[in-house]
């Protein structure tokens, strides 16, 4: 047995507790989105834009409706095969799905905070000499 204090991971609630603010804390808003959330949002938006049901798309993709629902909500990390099947069922290629995700990640609405870098003494000399 170790005398060290146990390490605790932060708990992220799935539902907002009663009385909690509508907006997430600033640090949560500034983080990059999870891949599964982003891809799920794109699949759901495309399905709704086509006015198709979850069952219809899941049947055509040959995946279970509950699993597709979990993927759309960002609760499951889908394999490339599942993503390709869901995209195909929506008339998209896997490349189309990935391109949409990439454009959302790189878009101006998702500007990332600048990284802090350490300036080496050599770089300081170069900057001062310029």
pLDDT > 70? residue 5: no
pTM for the model: 0.61
What does the DSSP 8-state code read for residue 108? Answer: G
- Reported as type and span, the H/E element at residue 106 is helix 94-106
Q: Identify the three-state secondary structure at position 80.
A: helix
User: With bands split at pLDDT 50, 70 and 90, how would you rate the model's confidence at 32?
Assistant: confident
Residue 51 has pLDDT above 70, yes or no: yes
The average pLDDT across 2-20 equals 61
Q: Which stretches does DSSP call E strand in the chain?
A: none
What tens digit of pLDDT does each residue of 54-69 get? 999 999 999 999 999 9
Higher pLDDT, 110 or 20: 20
Residue whose pair of structure tokens reads 């609405």 in the numeric block = 109
Q: Is the model's pLDDT at 81 over the cut of 80? A: yes
Helix (H, G, I), strand (E, B) or coil at 56: helix
88-124 pLDDT, tens digit per residue, is: 999 999 999 999 999 988 876 554 444 444 556 665 5
Could you give the CA distance from residue 16 to residue 116 in angstroms, rounded to a whole number?
33
């Amino acid at each position: 047995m170790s005398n060290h204090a146990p390490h605790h991971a932060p708990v992220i609630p799935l539902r907002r507790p009663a009385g909690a603010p509508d907006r997430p804390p600033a640090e949560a808003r500034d983080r990059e989105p999870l891949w599964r959330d982003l891809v799920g949002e794109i699949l759901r938006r495309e399905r709704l834009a086509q006015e198709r049901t979850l069952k219809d798309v899941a049947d055509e993709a040959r995946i279970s409706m509950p699993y597709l629902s979990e993927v759309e909500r960002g609760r499951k990390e889908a394999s490339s095969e599942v993503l390709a099947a869901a995209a195909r069922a929506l008339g998209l290629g896997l490349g189309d799905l990935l391109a949409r995700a990439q454009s959302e990640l790189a878009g101006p609405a998702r500007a990332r905070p600048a990284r802090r870098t350490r300036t080496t003494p050599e770089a300081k000399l170069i900057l001062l000499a310029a």
